[in-house]
């Protein structure tokens, strides 16, 4: 029997990439194309999104912090209605 000890982080498409590629230099700026491409092909984006906290300013799960915040707020409104 094998035990799967690999975490989603080990399978992240951005593993080994320069984290600077995921930095949004200023509000409204576009993420680096390399970061966008990594997130588009990443198979663990859902886990990444779930692990991302509100203060994370990096481009994560194919989204900027602003986009993630908007999604959370939209989700909260759905729960309330
Ligand atoms: S979704 Fe993007 S930031 Fe998240 S683990 Fe995958 S490649 Fe990295």
Residue-level pLDDT at 40: 98
- The reply to whether ligand 1 has any atom less than 6 angstroms from the CB of 44 is yes
Q: Rounded to whole angstroms, what are the CA distances from 54 to 39, 47, 68?
A: 18, 15, 8
The domain tally of the chain equals: 1
Domain range for 37 is 5-80
In ligand 1, the atom with minimum distance to the C-alpha of 43 is 6
Predicted TM-score of the model (pTM): 0.85
- 15 CA distance to ligand 1 centroid (A)? 8
pLDDT in tens, the chain (81 residues): 445 568 999 999 999 999 999 999 888 899 999 999 999 999 999 999 999 988 889 999 999 999 999 998 898 787 665
Closest ligand 1 atom to 58 CA: 3
What pLDDT was estimated at residue 27?
Answer: 83
């Amino acid at each position: 029997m094998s035990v799967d000890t690999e975490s989603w982080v080990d399978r992240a498409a951005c593993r080994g990439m320069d984290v600077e590629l995921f930095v949004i230099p200023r509000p409204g700026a576009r993420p680096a194309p390399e970061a966008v491409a990594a997130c588009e092909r990443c198979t663990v984006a859902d886990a990444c999104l779930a692990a991302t906290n509100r203060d994370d300013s990096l481009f994560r799960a194919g989204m900027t912090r602003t986009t993630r915040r908007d999604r959370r707020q939209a989700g909260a409104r759905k729960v309330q209605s």
